[in-house]
Amino acid sequence: MKSRFLFLGAVLILATAACTTAPLASVDPLVGAWRGGVQFESGAFAAVKDLEFMYAFQTGGTMTESSNYDGSPPVPPAYGVWRRMADGTYELKYEFYWTKPPSNFDEIAKGGGWAPGGRGVLTQHITLSADGNAFTGTLRLESFDSAGKPTDPPSTAAVKGARIRF
């Protein structure tokens, strides 16, 4: 009987140990939520002076991005990946769908709306500040129609960001 209790005790200890999570050995400094400014130097967005992005970088190399212009025209957030190139430098690649406006108000009244227009591919290179709470970098935007053909020449932007903190 005593050996049975010892066995059950050992099983419970092992089961409890297996259920605990060890802290991550090293969380990459990019992981977290960021708010950034984007100023295009060329292309259709060059005239926009108040473009902002919100970024969420997850452990494992995935990311989500949304902008303060996602509702104009309506577009979903962008989804993508990131990778560390060297200490403090990163490459991001993320994509979003863009929509085309209805040709007239009657389309909306009949239940139509903003139809799929294509997709955008953003490639970004950033460098973190020494304290890991800010970044600067460059961005390249390529736009494609629904058939995958380029719609505009690639455009470039300067980017900066700050970590969202309490």
pLDDT value at position 2?
Answer: 56
Element (H, E) at 107: helix 105-109
SS3 122: strand
Residue range 110-137: average pLDDT?
93
Q: Is residue 4's pLDDT more than 70?
A: no
pLDDT value at position 57?
Answer: 98
Residue 70 or residue 128, greater confidence: 128
pLDDT, tens only, 5-40: 444 344 444 444 444 444 545 789 999 999 999 999
pLDDT value at position 9?
Answer: 45
pLDDT, tens only, 72-90: 778 899 999 999 999 999 9
Residue range 96-101: average pLDDT?
89
Can you spell out the DSSP letters for 18-60? HHS-PPPS---TT-EEEEEEEEESSSTTTT-S--EEEEEEPTT
Given the structure tokens 């494609």, which residue do they identify? Answer: 144
pLDDT value at position 1?
Answer: 54
